[in-house]
């Protein structure tokens, strides 16, 4: 499922684009956000299909070697452990995955060289050689191999990253997030799994889906009030000299403080400080932390921050 952190990142990116464009409308920004989240979910299925593609390439090599005019013993008696991997088989036969791929039509058919290079990279790794040469493997071993393919091949391949970047600008920051989703998915595969094994839904629940819609809208609608708050609490700073991304990060954090009563302030604070480490300047973390901490304390004293239900967690500390 698409996590709330991913939703926050997507909203931050769309908000940046929204304020950077001369002809901006909230309606178009909301459409962009929905499209961006859908693209992340597309990538989830696209990468699940990639490991199947690698097994298909391995099978093609086996078939080609068998068809040689003068095949060697190894050609006629190939090691099929990888192509027979039980996790890959479950993905290949998974009804939900195949239905999604058929409907959205993502395909690796136009990237044969990438598949070839990824398999060559995989074949030279120690973990793959150990897997292929082991006297026997368990279902857990099969799963561990696929997990390592995602962690140590797919996640670090510069060629794959460049290809995904060319395919969609929406995938620039999605690879880490989506691989994490895939690893979580694989943990639920067991020996008893079949073609109906569930994959992740796009959102954890209706609350997360609504959160994705409300965060952008409330940040934009309350823009003037939020910017005034930032200016007030950053009174020792010239707002024009503050990094634009820092302002947007603080704007979203304040949005959650004020307009999302069910989200604990500590959660919001930690999430946006974390985002500042990756999406702004080297000094942003301490700066954003200082301004938000000051703002939160004063807004609580003024009774502006009102939390209910789960939002009360940590408020008495």
Q: What is the pLDDT of residues 297-306, one digit of tens each?
A: 999 999 999 9
Question: Please, which pLDDT band fits residue 166 given cuts at 50, 70 and 90?
Answer: very high
User: For position 148, what pLDDT does the model report?
Assistant: 98
Provide the residue count of the chain.
Answer: 317
pLDDT in tens, 116-132: 999 999 999 999 999 99
* Residue 284 scores a pLDDT above 90: no
Domains of the chain with CATH codes: 26-186 (no CATH), 222-312 (1.10.940.10)
pLDDT bracket for residue 161 (50, 70, 90)? very high
Mean pLDDT calculated for residue range 229-247:
81
Max avg pLDDT among 43-52, 74-83, 167-176? 43-52
Asked if residues 177 and 3 have their Cβ atoms less than 8 Å apart, the reply is: yes
Report the distance separating Cα 88 and Cα 239, nearest Å: 53
Q: And the tokens for 252?
A: 């979203």
Question: What pLDDT is recorded for position 240?
Answer: 67
Nearest CA among 111, 47, 122, 114 for reference residue 83: 122
Q: How far is CA 273 from each of CA 112, 118, 126, 292, rounded to the nearest angstrom?
A: 41, 36, 38, 9
């Amino acid at each position: 499922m698409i996590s709330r952190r991913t939703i926050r990142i997507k909203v931050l990116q769309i908000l940046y684009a929204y304020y950077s464009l001369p002809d901006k409308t909230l309606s178009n920004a909301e459409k962009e956000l929905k499209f961006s989240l859908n693209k992340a979910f597309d990538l989830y299925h696209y990468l699940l299909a990639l490991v199947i593609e690698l097994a298909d390439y391995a099978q093609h090599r086996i078939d080609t070697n068998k068809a040689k005019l003068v095949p060697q013993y190894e050609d006629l008696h190939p090691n099929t452990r990888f192509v027979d991997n039980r996790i890959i088989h479950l993905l290949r036969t998974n009804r939900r995955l195949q239905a999604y791929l058929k409907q959205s039509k993502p395909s690796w058919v136009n990237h044969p060289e990438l598949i070839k290079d990824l398999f060559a990279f995989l074949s030279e790794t120690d973990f793959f050689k150990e897997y292929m040469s082991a006297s026997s493997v368990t279902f857990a071993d099969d799963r561990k191999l696929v997990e390592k393919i995602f962690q140590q091949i797919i996640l670090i391949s510069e060629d794959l990253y460049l290809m995904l970047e060319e395919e969609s600008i929406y995938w620039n920051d999605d690879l880490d997030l989506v691989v994490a989703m895939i690893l979580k998915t694989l943990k639920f595969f067991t020996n008893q799994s079949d073609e109906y094994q569930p994959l992740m839904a796009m959102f954890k629940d209706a609350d997360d889906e609504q959160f994705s819609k409300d965060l952008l809208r409330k940040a934009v609608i309350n823009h003037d009030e939020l910017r005034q708050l930032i200016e007030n609490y950053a009174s020792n700073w010239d707002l024009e000299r503050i990094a634009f991304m820092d302002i947007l990060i603080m704007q979203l954090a304040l949005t959650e403080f004020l307009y999302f009563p069910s989200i604990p302030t500590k959660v919001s604070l930690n999430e946006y400080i974390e985002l500042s480490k990756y999406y702004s300047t080297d000094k942003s973390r301490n700066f954003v932390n200082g301004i938000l901490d000051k703002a939160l304390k004063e807004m609580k004293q003024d009774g502006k921050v009102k939390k209910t239900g789960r939002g009360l967690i940590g408020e008495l500390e």
